[in-house]
């Protein structure tokens, strides 16, 4: 029964990922940690996020915006080691507060106008967003808010962003797998979870035909804010715990 619920969670996470462009780990991390524990659960979620990206890329290939994607991917991978370094230097509570505040700042920037929102436009915006996303992904897995903020700030069309983000997450995910290693869960269990992930991506691909770009963009931002608030909540728990 527990494994069945985990597979169902991967289906939901995959569908949300394909629709919005992000939030796979956010949706899956709770069930994964509950079943596999805090360390193994994150490792399982990160590996399945790679599976999700691999399955999603072909269906959105013609929509990928390579000019933006290359910058987000390259700069993010370059910033990832600094994220790992910070996780080893900062106490857990301080790290979580820093991550959540960076995420909040990224999401608020497009709404503030003027020179603040201007940094999230064009190639310079891709560099800033990629650096923040790569850093956040390596330190917490929470790269979505920075990417979502850039998508809004640069007026990136939602369906093209959702397709392009899969390439970015594939690169970030492969780096994370290299840093974390493979999960120790049984191979058969991982294959079932991977199948659920693939099924969710295919379901999300079908839903893109009926869900409008405006609704998908709204869902994306809600998921990004949810991720930030979850990390902020974990920060307070770590502070008082």
Into how many domains does the chain fold? 1
pLDDT digit string, tens, across residues 149-208: 898 889 999 889 989 999 999 998 898 788 778 888 899 999 999 999 999 999 988 888
Global pTM value: 0.79
CA 49 – CA 43 distance, rounded (Å) = 10
Range of the domain at 139: 2-240
Per-residue pLDDT of 32-78, as tens digits, reads 766 776 567 778 888 998 999 999 999 889 999 999 999 999 999 99
Cα–Cα dist 122/118, whole Å: 9
pLDDT recorded at residue 130 = 94
**Span 72-88, mean pLDDT?**
88
Beta-carbon contacts of 162 under 8 Å, excluding residues fewer than 6 positions away, are: 18, 19, 20, 21, 60, 63, 208, 216, 220
């Amino acid at each position: 029964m527990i494994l069945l619920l985990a597979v169902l969670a991967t289906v939901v996470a995959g569908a949300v990922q394909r629709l919005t462009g992000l939030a796979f780990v956010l949706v899956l991390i709770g069930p994964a940690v509950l079943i596999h524990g805090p360390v193994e659960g994150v490792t399982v979620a990160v590996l399945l996020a790679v599976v999700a990206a691999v399955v999603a890329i072909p269906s959105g290939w013609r929509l990928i915006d390579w000019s933006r994607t290359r910058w987000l991917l390259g700069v993010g991978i370059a910033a990832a080691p600094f994220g790992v370094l910070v996780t080893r230097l900062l106490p857990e509570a301080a790290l979580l507060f820093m991550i959540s505040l960076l995420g909040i700042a990224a999401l608020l920037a497009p709404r503030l106008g003027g020179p603040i929102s201007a940094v999230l436009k064009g190639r310079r915006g891709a560099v800033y967003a990629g650096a923040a996303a790569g850093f956040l992904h390596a330190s917490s897995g929470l790269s979505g808010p920075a990417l979502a903020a850039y998508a809004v700030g640069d007026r990136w069309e939602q369906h093209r962003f959702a397709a392009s983000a899969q390439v970015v997450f594939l690169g970030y995910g492969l780096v994370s797998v290299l840093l974390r290693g493979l999960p120790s869960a049984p191979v058969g269990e991982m294959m079932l979870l991977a199948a659920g992930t693939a099924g969710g991506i295919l379901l999300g691909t079908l839903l893109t035909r009926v869900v409008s770009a405006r609704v998908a963009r709204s869902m994306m931002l809600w998921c990004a804010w949810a991720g930030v608030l979850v990390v902020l909540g974990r920060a307070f728990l770590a502070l008082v715990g």
